[in-house]
Structure 1
Amino acid sequence: MDWMLEDLATGIPQTRHVVVLSSDGLCMAQWGTDTDTADRLAAACAGLQSLSAAIAAEFPDGDGRMKLVVVEVGGGFFYLMAAGAGAYLAVLADDDVDAGLVGQLMRDLVARIGEHLTSPPRADRQVP
């Protein structure tokens, strides 16, 4: 999956990090970052997607699921997109990035490989 993440990142020159994570905050794939940074981002994303789902539940006509979160901070943008059952795609980019292009390329990537970006819930192991 790394080459697909690289395609996304190189298609947007201001991209710093790309991470695919499970809904419980485990890094499944990464590009442009070290393991520690990817793990921190994945853990933070899990909290953000949970908060987003709580907000989505307040829309009575919606399905209660988070689709896309964009956070602007000093120095750049953070994007988090649902990317399959129990999986999310996160991108950090510089503040001069084309926000529309980021969203479009993230949607394109999810559409192409969304079924591969899944993280089924973990089952508790029962010991007999």
Structure 2
Amino acid sequence: MDWMLKDLAESVPQTRSVVVLSSDGLCMALHGADPDAADRLAAACAGLQSLAAAIAAEFPHSDGRMRMVVIEVTGGFLYLMTAGAGAYLAVLADEGVDAGLMGMRMRDLVARIGAHLTSPPRETESGQ
């Protein structure tokens, strides 16, 4: 999966890092970030997707699931997108990033490999 994340990063100028995370905040794959930074980002994004789902539930015709969250901060953007069952795609990008291109490339990546970006529920030690 590394080459696909690298392809996303290289196809959108100003991309800093790309992380695939599970819904419980574990980093599953990364490009352009050191492992500690990727772990911090994955943990933060797990909380963010939970908040987004709570907000989605306030819309009358919503299924309560988050599709995409974009946060702009001084210095850049965070993009977080649902990537499959129990998996999310997070991207950090600099201020000059083309937001439309980023959204399109992220959707393309998820469409191409969404089934491979899923995180099945963890089993307990008893196998249940």
Same fold (TM over 0.5): yes
1:19 maps onto 2:16 in alignment: no
Q: Within 2, Cα distance between the matches of 1:120 and 1:57?
A: 23
Q: Indicate the residue corresponding to 1:116 in structure 2.
A: 116
Deviation, 1:125, is: 2.0
Aligned residues: 127
Q: Indicate the residue corresponding to 1:71 in structure 2.
A: 71
Deviation, 1:87, is: 0.1
Deviation, 1:114, is: 0.2
Q: Within 1, Cα distance between the matches of 2:84 and 2:54?
A: 19
State the identity as a percent: 76
Q: Indicate the residue corresponding to 1:99 in structure 2.
A: 99
Q: Indicate the residue corresponding to 1:44 in structure 2.
A: 44
Cα offsets for 1:1-56 (capped at 9, x unmatched): 00000000000120001000000000000000100000000000000000001111
Deviation, 1:85, is: 0.2
Q: Within 2, Cα distance between the matches of 1:60 and 1:122?
A: 32
Give the CA RMSD over aligned residues.
0.9
State how 1:53-92 maps to structure 2 within 5 Å.
Answer: 53-92=53-92
Q: Within 1, Cα distance between the matches of 2:34 and 2:48?
A: 21
Deviation, 1:123, is: 2.2
Structure 1 gaps, min length 5:
none
TM-score (norm: length of structure 2): 0.97
Q: Within 1, Cα distance between the matches of 2:71 and 2:98?
A: 14
Deviation, 1:60, is: 1.8
Amino acid at match of 1:28: M
Q: Within 2, Cα distance between the matches of 1:56 and 1:120?
A: 23
